[in-house]
């Protein structure tokens, strides 16, 4: 099995710039103009004149929902409140030595240490109530963000955050990864599957000195968009390039523009 390449700094910078450009474009299409507000720390890429907040996801193959180090899980009380998920994330991180050079000397030993906390994390997230809280926190900062916006080609597709959490929670099958090659080890990740296809993963990033002992949660853009549109069928055009789905139609119809 081919080893995945880590994203270069140049690629990461491009993705970030592209995300900002798409958020600005969405704001202009809403009629907000250059004065639109955002709160990146709270995952609010755009805040409209009515106070609605939007998380705008671009056309990349995978979305990085979060990339957190040890300090985030030590300080974040929301993760602690989710049946102490933060402790399991910290156990995953602390399966590896502080110095990456020590990890590189004996990768197999430290990966074996990761197995137990990853198994426990998987078991916890099989609880649908806990899974919903985790998705809501990770994607929408526990309800602070109102809408998910997905840019597909030239159009922006808008979903109400609670419907997104509901669809993902109801459809995800949660399991641990299994070794597929001679040098791989079981239970290194928590995988979210739908009908046998991997929609997302929780994994450790240890690929560089910059990204070492970090927990990454990512989702597949194409599969997530397909799942949402298959489960939330009602849709209406808000502007020629903005399409609303499900309960987002009613919630945003009170704005100056009405669905076409």
Q: Which of 198, 174, 205 minimizes the C-alpha distance to 67?
A: 205
Task: Tell me the per-residue pLDDT of 136-171, one tens digit each, with 9 for 90 and over.
Answer: 999 999 999 999 999 998 999 999 999 999 999 999
pLDDT at 19: 66
Does the reported pTM lie above 0.75?
yes
d(CA 118, CA 186): 10
Average per-residue pLDDT in the chain? 90
Task: Tell me the per-residue pLDDT of 170-214, one tens digit each, with 9 for 90 and over.
Answer: 999 999 999 988 888 999 999 999 999 999 999 999 999 999 999
Contacts of residue 219, Cβ cutoff 8 Å, sequence gap at least 6: 62, 63, 65, 192, 199, 200
d(CA 89, CA 128): 18
Query: For 7-13, what is the mean pLDDT?
Result: 57
Task: Using alpha carbons, list the distances in angstroms from residue 18 to 47, 66, 158, 231, 239.
Answer: 18, 17, 18, 28, 22
pLDDT above 60 (res 109): yes
pLDDT above 70 (res 217): yes
pLDDT above 70 (res 259): no
d(CA 222, CA 238): 22
Phi/psi-derived region of residue 66, left when phi > 0, alpha when psi is between -120 and 50, beta in every other case: beta
């Amino acid at each position: 099995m081919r080893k995945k390449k880590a994203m270069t700094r140049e690629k990461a910078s491009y993705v970030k710039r592209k995300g900002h450009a798409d958020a600005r474009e969405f704001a202009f299409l809403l009629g907000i103009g250059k004065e639109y507000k955002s709160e990146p720390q709270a995952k609010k890429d755009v805040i409209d004149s009515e106070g609605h907040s939007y998380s705008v996801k671009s056309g990349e193959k995978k979305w990085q929902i979060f990339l957190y180090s040890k300090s985030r899980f030590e300080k974040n009380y929301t993760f602690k409140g989710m049946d102490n998920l933060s402790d399991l994330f910290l156990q995953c991180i602390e399966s590896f030595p502080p110095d990456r050079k020590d990890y590189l000397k004996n990768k197999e030993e430290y990966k074996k240490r990761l197995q137990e906390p990853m198994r426990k994390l998987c078991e916890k997230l099989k609880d649908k109530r806990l899974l919903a809280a985790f998705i809501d926190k990770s994607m929408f900062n526990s309800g602070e963000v109102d809408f998910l916006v997905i840019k597909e080609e030239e159009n922006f597709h808008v979903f109400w955050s609670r419907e997104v959490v509901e669809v993902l929670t109801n459809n995800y099958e949660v399991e641990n990864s299994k070794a597929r090659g001679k040098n791989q080890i079981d239970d290194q990740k928590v995988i979210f599957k739908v009908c046998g296809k991997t929609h997302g993963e929780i994994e450790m990033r240890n690929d560089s000195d910059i990204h070492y002992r970090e927990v990454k949660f990512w989702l597949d853009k194409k599969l997530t968009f397909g799942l949402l549109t298959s489960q939330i069928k009602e849709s209406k055009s808000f502007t020629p390039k903005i399409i609303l789905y499900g309960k987002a139609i009613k919630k945003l119809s009170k704005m100056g523009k009405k669905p076409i």
